[in-house]
Amino acid sequence: MTQLTFYGGVEEIGGNKILVESSAGTVLLDFGRRMGFTGNYYAEFIQPRSKNALRDLCRLGVLPIVDGIYSTPFIDTTLLVDKPEFKAKIPLDRAPDYWVMQGIAPYDKEKPRVDAIFITHAHFDHIQDLSFLDPAIPIHCTEETRVVAKAINDVSVSGVDDQYYELRRKQVISTKPRETKDLYKTLFPGELAYFDSKEEGEKPCVEEPKCGYEFTREYTPEYRTFDPSLKGAIKGIRYELIPVDHSIPGACSILLTLPNKKRLLYTGDLRFHGTKSTTIDDYVERVGEPIDALIIEGTRIDSEQSLRESDVEKNIKEDISKALGLILINFGWKDLSRYEVVYKCTIAADRTLIISPKLAYLLFEMHFNFPDQYPDPLKVPNLKVYLKREDSLLYSKADYDKWKMGYLDFHGRNTAKKDQNLVRIAESLNCGGEKCTCTEPLVVPDTDPINVETFELATHHLKHGIKAFEIRENPSKYVMLFTNMDVNELFDLLPKDAVPPAHYISAATEPFNDEMEIDESKFMNWLDAFGVTYEYEEDEEKHKHFVRRHVSGHASQPELLDLINKLNPGMIIPIHTINPHQFEKLLPGKTIKIPEYGKPIPL
């Protein structure tokens, strides 16, 4: 029997997890984090326990209890104990559920439960919980989605639930030696602790493609397997990835032709009012033959508003033209279509756009992988990267780490005692390092150009980035990406009683939970304290809300209805919406199946 089971996106926005089981093979459609649901339990200072994350998240319902998909160590901690006699140190008989998750089977590579995972795009509510799935399961997505996932991974602090791209090093549980290899004595020798599972004798050198230089690492990094093929077949299931417009590069729909000849279309998140020129008719033509079942997102099924990205551009241009001082603008750093709009508006006003190191890093990754589609941020005119006062607040070069100082996320391991790291490059160029090995002054023609280029790429922002005091000297020249995480920068950017005052533009999505509402209220307090102007509206309770220069990454009600009527599917399954029953009201006579969490729908 062919059936669909939904483990997320059911009467909620995001967290899509769809199990498609057929007589020949089984696949997953997305495996994202239930962001709103998770927010009921976790916050900035309360995070999942890394050594017990899967069991904790399954018990809360953040992750589904499904056989044959999760990595074995997440289910059974005792398998990490490297010697059987060490298990006696764990109270296995007193609290077995502490160590082993009951009633669930791990992934079995000999008899895999799932043959592939399809990811529609790299937003966390569609990709993050890949972190717990066994890495032997191949991932299918567009190449752009893979590159974006890598970039997000590179500039993020890695935790147990951030293994959607790079995998953490395997570990074992063993006893602490009386003395370590560095001759440090331990207070409790023989007690259990986590250790890296193996030491690589020869420290590996791994090439950084962006500069062609090999950096020494402590161990060889491991990544999940991504297949960017837009068409193919898996265990009798034929698939096609259909690129769509969304608020992040690389988004796609997934079209499956199942062994029983049923055609299943999963839209993922999509819109038809963005910067791409794809129309509903174009999309329907690409889908082709009739659809038996349509899994469709319904984020905006209640919204008849049909603003376009061109409307956003017009409004932002007007805002910038009226402002006399520094302009602060907020938009998602992964939303490159919004970045392009803001950049165009900035250029039209003869100003310079200042972006964050994260956005700069993503732009360079996209350019490197897709040079015909994305320009080189190092060569884009009127574009600067903001260099915060970090750590000591002295603008000391020693305060900046990796991607915050340039376009590389890894600088090599100095402890490897090899020449393949940035410190050794600096020594060879006589511009840094602990001990310079140069005996002659640096002569550029005789210098290995790869060293110079690598060093400059890695440290670009230190030399070419823009500092707060430089912005303050001529604020009317700049438009600056500015979020609620940047409020401390106001101390450095704005002198007391700045004239003309800075102006803030909200070009980001509205808050969608109580915590975000509170954060926005605090953000307004900061802007008020520094005399920053902004447009706002008041609700019935006199609470202020930003007037936004924003359109959603999701199709509006008219677009969704037009799409459904033109596809004319045999069955409609609405997900990624808090109001799936609205489809029933708006589409009388259509076969609509409202999914229930964990309950199979036959197809």
- Look at residue 493 in the predicted model and tell me its pLDDT: 97
Domain count, the chain: 2
Q: Could you tell me if residue 484 is inside a domain?
A: yes
CB 386 within 8 A of CB 354: yes
Determine which helix (DSSP H) or strand (DSSP E) holds 166, and give its type and residue range: strand 166-167
pTM score: 0.93
- Look at residue 13 in the predicted model and tell me its pLDDT: 93
- Look at residue 443 in the predicted model and tell me its pLDDT: 39
Q: What are phi and psi of 215, to 5 degrees?
A: -105, 140
Residues of the domain holding 535: 309-406+464-546
Residues 567 and 520 in one domain: no
Residues 481 and 347 in one domain: yes
Residues 528 and 494 in one domain: yes
CB 120 within 8 A of CB 245: no
Q: Could you tell me if residue 282 is inside a domain?
A: yes
Residues 324 and 400 in one domain: yes
* Number of other residues whose CB lies within 10 A of the CB of residue 562: 17
- Look at residue 219 in the predicted model and tell me its pLDDT: 86
**Cα–Cα distance, 404 to 570 (Å, whole number):** 51
Residues 473 and 394 in one domain: yes
Q: Could you tell me if residue 64 is inside a domain?
A: no
Residues 353 and 293 in one domain: no
CB 333 within 8 A of CB 481: yes
pLDDT digits (tens, 9 = 90+) for 64-100: 999 999 999 999 999 999 899 998 889 988 888 999 9
- Look at residue 76 in the predicted model and tell me its pLDDT: 93
Q: Could you tell me if residue 445 is inside a domain?
A: no
Q: Could you tell me if residue 541 is inside a domain?
A: yes
CATH number at residue 539: 3.40.50.10710
Q: Could you tell me if residue 61 is inside a domain?
A: no
179 SS3 class: strand
Averaged pLDDT in 10-residue chunks for the chain of 603 residues: 94 96 95 93 88 94 96 92 90 90 92 96 96 97 98 91 92 82 72 82 87 89 95 96 95 96 96 82 94 96 83 93 95 94 96 98 98 97 97 94 95 77 83 60 52 93 97 96 95 90 90 74 94 89 85 91 96 96 95 97 93
Strand pairing report for 533-534 and 536-538: unpaired
**Cα–Cα distance, 239 to 256 (Å, whole number):** 5
Helices 557-567, 280-287: inter-axial angle, 10-degree rounding: 30
